[in-house]
């Protein structure tokens, strides 16, 4: 998007008349899909199986039509991103719905970790580089109903009070 803005400033206006500058990747994706029906795109469009839409309908400036490996990679990302974004949005909606409607005496636990963080000193000698300690960071987010004895408020079916706690190891 920044590259396109720069190109539009540098080129003649009549050369760039039908080349919009998008605000976000979602805008780029929406420009390559058929119109939404009932609030969402058709699955065939998202999977790029529709003959009426796709990356081919985007307008490119001549200098944007790069055939290098990097350009192909960007085009492939634009092709695969819609179904990924749709799946991620659907999963997030399902998760949020589950937490909002959490059954009593149940909890939702999300556990993630990042491994191989290397511990380093501010200044090091070369031999110390090969003997570094590595750690994994484990993060857990727990969504549960409030308990009177721990939280000072009690969750009930009529008035659910969901507590979110975070733990890191």
For residues 152 and 127, state if they share a domain.
yes
Total count of domains within the chain? 2
Task: Assign 63 a pLDDT band (cuts: 50, 70, 90).
Answer: low
Which residues make beta-bridge pairs with 142? 109, 165
For residues 56 and 118, state if they share a domain.
no
User: β-strand 107-118 against 162-168: which pairing, if any?
Assistant: unpaired
pTM of the model: 0.67
CA distance readout (Å), 125 to 29, 31, 116, 122, 131: 49, 53, 21, 10, 11
Average pLDDT over residues 116-134: 65
- The H-or-E segment that residue 116 falls in is strand 107-118
Is the confidence at residue 68, as pLDDT, over 80?
A: no
Average pLDDT over residues 40-52: 92
Mean pLDDT taken over the chain: 82
What letter does residue 54 receive in the DSSP assignment? Answer: S
Average pLDDT over residues 34-62: 88
Is the confidence at residue 125, as pLDDT, over 80?
A: no
Residue labelled with tokens 């969901």: 162
For residues 74 and 137, state if they share a domain.
no
For residues 96 and 116, state if they share a domain.
no
Is the confidence at residue 75, as pLDDT, over 80?
A: no
Whole-number pLDDT of residue 107: 94
For residues 94 and 113, state if they share a domain.
no
Domain extent for 38: 1-101
Tell me which of 101, 123, 157 is where a domain ends.
101
């Amino acid at each position: 998007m920044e590259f396109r803005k720069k190109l539009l400033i540098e080129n003649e206006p009549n050369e760039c008349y039908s080349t919009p500058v998008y605000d976000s990747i979602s805008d780029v994706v929406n420009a390559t899909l058929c119109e939404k029906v009932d609030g969402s795109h058709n699955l065939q469009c998202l999977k790029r199986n529709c003959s009426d839409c796709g990356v081919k309908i985007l307008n490119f400036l001549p200098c944007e039509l790069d055939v290098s490996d990097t350009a192909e990679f960007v085009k492939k990302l634009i092709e695969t991103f819609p179904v990924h974004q749709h799946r991620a949005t659907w999963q997030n909606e399902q998760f949020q719905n589950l937490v909002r409607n959490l059954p009593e005496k149940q909890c939702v636990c999300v556990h993630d970790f990042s491994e191989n963080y290397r511990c380093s000193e501010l200044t090091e000698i070369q031999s110390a580089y090969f003997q570094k300690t590595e750690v994994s960071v484990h993060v857990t987010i727990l969504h549960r109903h409030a308990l009177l004895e721990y939280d000072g408020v009690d969750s009930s079916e009529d008035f659910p009070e969901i507590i979110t706690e975070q733990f890191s190891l």
